[in-house]
Structure 1
C-alpha cells in the first residue's frame, strides 16, 4: 500500500504557496496551518483527533511489547519486538499461530488498538487492545476485545468487520480514498494525513491560503467550503423562561461535519469527481441510522455504539440550535469548562439548583446534570460513553416497556416501582411524564401490535417531535401498511429533511407497486444523492411491473445506486445488491455471477448462498441449489438460514427425512428463531404429529406470537389432542372472540 506521507504534503503545500499556483480544493497538510493558527494547533496536539491513527513507532505505541504473553483458554498470544519493529504472534483464521507485524496504532485512551497490513493492502485490527488507563484504574494491561469471536463471525479479526479500509479509515484519517480494485481484490488506500488533521473538518485549505496572501479579496468563507461557526450567534434571557433562548440563528455545517464521523452511518462514496463529498449535505455522502431497535432502546437511549449524532438529534438542545462547539473545544476535544458551568451557559443556575431540580445533595455526584441526563454505557470493555440525547429519567417507562433508567441503575437496592413513585412525588407537575411517549409506540410496533399503524402515523406527522424520531416512526411502518401510514408517507416524501424522506422510502415497503410508485417516483430525481438512490433501490424489485417510461425514469438514479455498490465491492452485501438488480431485470447470468462474487469476497456471508440457491431454484436447477447451500453451510456453519433453506429444498422434493434433518439443525443453530421451529413442525406432521405439536409449541414459546399459538391449537383440534381446551383457553386470552369463533367453528 502506497500511503501519502505528511512530509510530502507539506513540501507540496510550501511549493504551491511560494509559486502562487494553487488549484481549487487542494489538501495542503497541517504544517501549512501552524504559523497562523498556533493556539488551535497547540490544542489539537495530543488530542483524540491527533492520536486517531499513527504509524507504529516508539512515540505512538503505548502498549508493552516486551515479550508479553496473553493466555486465553490455554491459547498463548505473544507481543514482542523484532529488529525495532512491533510484532504479535496470534491465531489466524486457519487456526494456526503466526507472527504479524504491527503497522499502525489506533487511538490512545482509554485504550489503544493495533493494526497489521496484509499483502493485498487490507489493514486489519487485531483483537487485543492495550488498556491505557493507570494501574490504579485497572489499566496498563493487554485485554481481549472479542474473546467470543471465531473465524465465522463478521467481527473476527481477519474478517470484514475488522477491516480498516472499509470500517475505520474514513473517520480516523484525512482525505481518505479507499481505492479498492475488485478485479484483484486489493486495496491501494491513500490519505493526505494519517490522523484527523485540520482539513478533515475544515476541508481542503488551498483557497484559504490563497486568501491569506491577499485578504483584500472578497472570498466566501475565507476560502473554505463550509461554515463551521456555531448555529446560534447569541443566547438571550427571556422573562419567565428557565433556559436561554436562541437569537441570531443561522445555517452552519458544524453538526454535519462532526457527524460525518461521530455517528452510526453507512458511507456511499468518497468520489471527488462529483459533489457527493460536500459535507454541507450529510446525506450526499452518508446515510445516518435512525432510532432502530438494534441500535437504541425504544425510548432512544443508546444500546449499541451509535457515536453521538443519532442520540443528539433526539434532544431538545439540538432542536434549539445547540451544536458541538457550544460545549466542546473542537481542537482539543475537551469540554470548554467544568461540566456544571457548561450546562449553566443556557440553564439559569437558580432554577436548576440541587434543591430545586436534582433533589440530591449539593456537591455530590448524583447532583450533577450529566449523572441523570447523560448516563454512560461502557463499550470495548473499558470505554464509558455518555448518552447525548439528554433524556429525562423515566422509571415509569421502565415499568411499561422495560427500558433502562438511570434512577434504578444508581439505586440498585430499590425497585423500579419505588423509582417511578419517587420521581412522580418529586415532580408532580412533570409535563414530560404526562405526555404520551413515542417509546410506547415503538415498543408496541416491535411486538407487532395492530394499533401501531395509527400511533406511528401520529408521531411521523408531529412537528413537535425531533426529525430523527419522526423518521424512525416512518421506517417502522413497513410492517403496518394502512391508509393512515400511506397518508403519513405521502406527506413525508415531500419533507425538507432528507432523513425523513429516506425513512419514508423504507416505510413504504408494505405497499404493492401500484401504490408505492406514486409515492416514491418523485424521489428518483431528488436533489440528495442518498434519497434518489434509495428510491431506486426500493423500486427496482418491481422492474418487470414497470412500463417503458417508468423504467426510463428509473435509469439515472439506478445507475447511481450501482455506483454506490461498486464503491463497496470489497463487501459481500454490495455484490448482493448488484445481483438483486440483475435478478429484477431477469438478467439471470449476470445475477449468478454477482452472487458468486459476493461469496468470493466474503465467504461467511450466508445471504449470498441463500440468494444464489433461490436463483437456481427459480431457473429449475434444484441440484445446484442444494449444492450451493451445502457449500454455504460448510463456510458459515453458524447460519440457521442456510439449513432452513436446505430443508425447504428437500421438502419441495418430498424428501421429508432430509428436510426434517436440516430444519432440526436450523433450530439447534438458531434456537430462538420461531420460524425454524414452525417449519420443522409442519414438516413433522406427516411423520409424527406429536413431534409436530412440540415444535409448534416451541415456536410460540420463543416468539410469544399468537399466530404460532393459533397454529398449534388448530392442529390440536385436528388430531383431537387431550390438551386442546388448555390451548384454546390460552389463545382466547390473546385474540378476539371473532378469531376464536373462526378457529373453533362455533
Structure 2
C-alpha cells in the first residue's frame, strides 16, 4: 500500500495591524456623479480607465471654506481633520519630556532635541536608535507617531499616546514581537505606506517598487479633507466662478444629499472596512467593488455568528443588519462633518424606534436611565482594539445567548453579567422573552464556521436565499468550501450569475481553489463583469487555461483583464499574500520555476513567515530540489517546534525518498503534536509494516481506531496487515465490518470474498 499524501492547511495566524478612522463623513450637496477626468473610452465596455487624478485638481479645505463655512467649521478639529499631521508642538499630544515606557522587554525613551521630537527604541536590527517623529496619526482615543526610514518607508511606532488617560501605552501589550518579524513596528506590519496611507490622506498613490522594495508615496492633501470623500473640487469651483448665480450642480461630487443610502455606505466603506485593494489608486471611478473587495465573515476574524472579533471595522457588520437592508445609512446616526453621534443615549435610536415601546423596563428589563438600559449596550456590543479604542458592532443584533451555548460566541448578557455563564444567560433570556420565534442567519452560518457535521445544508440554503444580506450569502459560499468544494460544484456554478457582485466574487474564489480546469469555462463571461474585483478574480481562476485556448469572443476582454490582474499584483506586491498569489498563478499555469521565485520573494520581505516557507518546501520537493525542501521543513521546525503538520510533511517526503527510518522518527514526533490526527496513525502504521514490525504496526492502527472507530482507511490497513501475516480470521472480521459500514464499496466486498477463499 502506498502512503497517502496530505495537504495540511499550514495556517499560522498573523494578526495584521490595520489602522482606520472609526468615524463617518458626509458633506454638502453639489449634485450627482459624472465622468469628468475619468476618460472611460466608449468602446471599453465595463472597463475603467484607472487614470490617476492630478494633485492640483484637489484645492484644499480652505478653498471649500470660502463657500461652505458652516460645514468647514463642523469638520475642523474632527478625527478626519486630524487624521494625519506634520509633527510639531501643536499637533503632538504625547509627553516627550524625557519620558520612558517599557513593554515586552523594550524600553522606548521619548525626548526633544532642537525643537524636534524623538524616540529612542529598538530598531529592525534589534539595536536601539534615535528616531525623529515626522508625522502624527489621529487624536482620540489615541495618537500614534510616524518615523521616516530609508527608501521611502514610513513606520508607525507600536507605543502610542492615550489621549484620554494621558499616558504612553503598548498597542498590543500581550503580543511579543521580535525585531526580525514582519509585525515589528519597523517592518511591514506597521508600515504607513501600505497599511495606513490610503485612508488617512487624500488622493494617495502608494508607488511601490518591488525590485528595490522602496516607496515614493504621494498624496494631494495630508489629512482626510473635504475632497477625500467628495472628490476633487477643481471642476466645481471653475464652474461656479464661470457661471456665478447661473451655476447648476453638474454631478461632479460624491457623497451628496442625492446619494442613495446603500451607495453612501459603500462610499464610506472604502476606509471603514477590512479589505483587499484591486485598483492601483482610488480615483472615484465606478463603485467600491471596482477598487476593493471586503473581508468576508469567517472564523478567526469574526465570531461564529458574525459578530466582530478581529479588527473588522464597520462595513462587514453593518451589511449584516436589518437597518442597512431597510435603507438606514451612516449619516442617520453620525453627524455629517463633526462625525459625532447626532443624539445622546437612547434618543439616537428613538429617531426610528418608538421610545414608548422600546425605551421601557417592559422591553429591556433594566433600571431606566442606566448604562444597562441603553439600546447600544444590548444591541451594539463592542470590543477594544489597538489597546484602548472601543468599537461597537454595527450589525444591530438581538442577543442570542442560546447560540453562545452552542458555538462559544459572545453575547451582550454575559458581557455585562461577567459573574454568570452562557447557560444562565440563555435560561434567563428565555424566561424574559420566550422562545426565539424566527430563524436568524447566524443559526446556519455558525455551525459552518465551527465545522459542525452536516452544516453544509444550512450554508447552501444561505447561499441561495436572496432575502439574506449579501455579505452573509457570500460568506456562506466561502465557508462551504470547508466541506470540500468539489462536492458542491453545481451549487457554486449557479451562483456565478448571481445578482450580487459580492456573491459572484466569493464564489469565483472558491471554484478557483479546485485543482482542475473542468469548470473554468464558466469564468469566461465574468471577464466582462461590471465589477473590476470580479473580473480579476475570474482571470485568476482561468490561470490554468492557456491563453491560446481562450475563445475568440473573449480574447479582447481577456487581454484587458490580464492588464488589470497584473496591475493588481504590482500594486499590492509589498504584501506577502500578493506574492503568494502570484506564485499560485504561475502554479496554475504549470510554471513551477516562476512559482518558486514568487514564493522566495515573499520570504524576502518576511523571512520568518512559515506559511510561505511550508508552501515553498512543497514546491522544492515537487521540483526535485530535495535538499532545499528538507532545509525549509527543518527551518519551520526550528522556528515553530510545536506545529505538528510540518513533522508530518517532512515524514512524507522522507518516505517517498525511501528514507524510512527518518520518516518514522518524524511521524512519531507528529503524533505527539497531533494525537488525534488519523492520517498520522495511518501512515505511521504503514511504515512500521514496511519495516516488517508487525507489533508496532498493529498497535498504531488500533490506537488510531480508538480515535475514530469507523475510519475505513485504518480498518482496511489493519485487515490488510492481518491478511499479509496469515491471520486470516482477524482479517475477515474486519472485512465484514468494512462491508457493513460501506455497503456500496465493491472493493471491500471483493476483498472479503478473497479472504474467505483463503480460510
| TM-score when normalising by structure 2 | 0.80
Distance 2:580 2:676 in 1: 24
Native 8 Å contact 1:49 1:195 kept in 2 = yes
Does residue 1:342 correspond to 2:354, yes or no?
no
CA distance 1:674–1:129, change in 2 (3 Å)? farther
Structure 1 unmatched ranges of 5 or more: 1-21, 232-249, 721-734
The CA RMSD over aligned residues, in Å, is 3.8
Q: How does 1:576-615 map to 2 (within 5 A)?
A: 576-615=580-619
User: How many residues are matched?
Assistant: 678
Distance 2:100 2:695 in 1: 54
> Counterpart of 2:303?
297
> Which is further off, 481-490 or 553-562?
481-490
CA apart distance, 1:662? 5.3
Does residue 1:262 correspond to 2:272, yes or no?
yes
Match of 1:115 among 133, 146, 156: 146
Does residue 1:378 correspond to 2:384, yes or no?
yes
CA apart distance, 1:189? 0.6
> Counterpart of 1:649?
653
> Counterpart of 1:498?
501
Q: How does 1:5-404 map to 2 (within 5 A)?
A: 26-72=57-103, 75-134=106-165, 139-143=166-170, 145-146=172-173, 147-151=175-179, 153-213=181-241, 214-215=243-244, 220-221=249-250, 223-224=252-253, 226-229=254-257, 250=260, 253-271=263-281, 277-278=283-284, 280-404=286-410
Higher relative contact order (CA 8 A, sep 6+): 2
Native 8 Å contact 2:171 2:386 kept in 1 = no
> Which is further off, 458-467 or 595-604?
595-604
| CA deviation profile, 1:10-29 (whole Å, cap 9, x unmatched) | xxxxxxxxxxxx99991111
Native 8 Å contact 1:616 1:622 kept in 2 = yes
CA distance 1:484–1:369, change in 2 (3 Å)? farther
CA apart distance, 1:671? 6.3
Distance 1:260 1:697 in 2: 55
Distance 1:650 1:484 in 2: 32
CA apart distance, 1:605? 3.0
Native 8 Å contact 2:120 2:128 kept in 1 = yes
CA distance 1:121–1:740, change in 2 (3 Å)? farther
Distance 2:109 2:508 in 1: 50
CA apart distance, 1:92? 2.6
CA distance 1:383–1:68, change in 2 (3 Å)? same
CA apart distance, 1:313? 0.5
CA apart distance, 1:477? 2.5
Distance 1:509 1:395 in 2: 37
1:540 match: secondary structure: coil
CA distance 1:418–1:623, change in 2 (3 Å)? closer
Distance 1:288 1:603 in 2: 27
Distance 1:618 1:280 in 2: 43
Does residue 1:508 correspond to 2:511, yes or no?
yes
| CA deviation profile, 1:209-255 (whole Å, cap 9, x unmatched) | 1232225556555532x243376xxxxxxxxxxxxxxxxxx466321
> Which is further off, 175-184 or 672-681?
672-681
Native 8 Å contact 1:175 1:200 kept in 2 = yes
CA apart distance, 1:375? 0.7
CA apart distance, 1:440? 3.2
> Which is further off, 45-54 or 579-588?
579-588
CA distance 1:117–1:692, change in 2 (3 Å)? farther
> Counterpart of 1:561?
565
CA apart distance, 1:677? 5.6
1:298 match: secondary structure: coil
2:169 match: secondary structure: strand
CA apart distance, 1:366? 1.1
Q: How does 1:525-564 map to 2 (within 5 A)?
A: 525-541=528-544, 543=546, 552=555, 554-564=558-568
Native 8 Å contact 1:298 1:442 kept in 2 = yes
CA distance 1:153–1:550, change in 2 (3 Å)? farther
CA distance 1:75–1:177, change in 2 (3 Å)? closer
CA apart distance, 1:186? 0.8
CA distance 1:542–1:466, change in 2 (3 Å)? same
> Counterpart of 1:12?
none
> Counterpart of 1:443?
446
| CA deviation profile, 1:247-297 (whole Å, cap 9, x unmatched) | xxx4663211210011111112234xxxx6326511110011111112111
| TM-score when normalising by structure 1 | 0.81
2:120 match: secondary structure: strand
CA distance 1:549–1:488, change in 2 (3 Å)? same
Distance 1:643 1:60 in 2: 52
Native 8 Å contact 2:304 2:450 kept in 1 = no
